[in-house]
Amino acid sequence: MGNACHAAAVVVVVVLLVDVLLMDVVVVVAGTAPVGRVLVVAVAPVDSTATATGPDAPGAATESGDRGVPTHATTSVEAATAVSMVVIGVRGIGRRLDGGTGAVHSRYHASMGELEGRVAIVTGSTRGIGRGIAERFAAEGARVVVHGRDAAMCAAVAAELPGAIGVAGDIGAAGFADELIDNAVQQLGRLDIVVNNAGVAIDNFITGVTDERWAATLSTNLTGPFSVLRAAVRVMKGGDGGAVLNVISWAGERGNVGQAAYSASKAGLHALTLTGAKELGKFGIRVNSLSPAVPTDMGAQMDEKLQKISASRRPLKMQGLIADVAEAALFLVSDRSRFITGDVLHVDGGLHLN
């Protein structure tokens, strides 16, 4: 009798837990509470010599909304049988909610952030687009490595993001990329996402670009990102793969007057995206480019008149926001884009079409 009560108690606990879990899933995915009662599990008596089956069997699962009452529970085998019924029922609902794909695991975590448990490095993330991306990732559960040249700013931004750390340094300096990756792995335990966002724009006509300016631009915009990618891949390919996002520019795709060095560096960065996608796919590492054109600190010198002119050149006839870019970045590093690599996403209101 004691064993029977114990078995029944286990089953009741399991049923209640599943019921609560399903309610949570429905609130997040479907938004309708009644569906949470679809699965109803009752303990059917198990006879060692015969087993009743079919819809008329005692205690069979129903979709009436009223939980059945077990007639009896005599062995631990019955408890295990009931648990199996629960698992089957949960998977059935998971398949229905997911359109038949059977993606049950993702349903259990429907209320979690898209990047929960992942670690992301975002270079140049103390301000502008980089900071917007870092904040968006953190909001989705990622632990972020904040990077910038100023150590105090890195620490300040990291302090505002849950679980984040700050690592300061010149992205183009020899050896810094390895230091950046090492800090991420040593302090946060893993590395899943890299966003090569740090960049500089030293504008001048071709004849006015000095060797020093050329070298400085390519060091930050191309050599640095390459070094970060190389160091990151050594970690990522031995784990669960990951996502790399290179922030480029329409100037690198079409060229731009007065931006010879900048255009060349961004064109090279996209070429790195294409090569990286081809080489690293076999390790489960996706590499994509993001091409934004929204007002940032780099374009702060533009007055209101120039801002209007800039907006008028776009098919959408408006300026975008850093939040628009951050949302696109989230998409490209999340599982929603798991089948996308070697591509470029423009977030510019159609400016690249001109």
Out of 82, 137, 262, 265, which one is annotated catalytic?
Answer: 262
Strand pairing class (165-168; 143-148): parallel
H-helix or E-strand spanning residue 242: strand 242-247
- Indicate the burial class of 177 (C-beta count within 10 angstroms; 0-12, 13-18, 19 or more): buried
> Which residues have CB under 8 Å from 93's CB, separation 6+?
22, 38, 39
Tokens of 136: 């968006």
Strand pairing class (143-148; 119-122): parallel
The values of phi and psi at residue 325, to 5°, are -70, -40
Q: Name beta bridge partners: 244.
A: 194, 287
Nearest Cα neighbor of 267 from 229, 217, 216 is 217
- Indicate the burial class of 227 (C-beta count within 10 angstroms; 0-12, 13-18, 19 or more): buried
Residue entry with tokens 């731009």: 256
Helix (H, G, I), strand (E, B) or coil at 316: coil
Tokens of 339: 């089948």
**Residue 350 vs residues 19, 190, 293, 300, 336: alpha-carbon distances, Å:** 48, 37, 9, 21, 23
Q: Name beta bridge partners: 144.
A: 120
Strand pairing class (193-196; 119-122): parallel
- Spatial separation of the C-alpha atoms in residues 94 and 102, rounded to whole Å: 6
**Is 262 one of the catalytic residues?**
yes
Catalytic residues: 262
